Amino acid sequence: MTLQYLDFDYCEDEHGYGTFEAMASVPAARLTVLQAEIALVLDWAHATFPHQRAPLEEGGEWDYLLQGQQEWTVPETLAYDELTRRFSSQPGSAGPPRHTVTLALSGSAQFCQAFRQRFGV
Closest C-alpha among 74, 58, 67 to residue 100 = 67
d(CA 1, CA 18): 24
The per-residue pLDDT for 2 is 77
- Interatomic CA distance for residues 30 and 33, integer angstroms: 5
3 state SS of 57: helix
Alpha carbon separation from 115 to 4, 5, 62, 68, 88 (Å, rounded): 16, 17, 11, 22, 50
d(CA 111, CA 23): 20
Give just the sign of the alpha carbon dihedral 117, 9, 19, 27.
negative
Q: Quote the pTM value.
A: 0.83
Which portions of the chain are predicted below pLDDT 50?
A: none
Structure confidence at residue 85 (pLDDT): 96
pLDDT for res 1: 59
Among 44, 34, 30, 28, CA closest to 5: 34
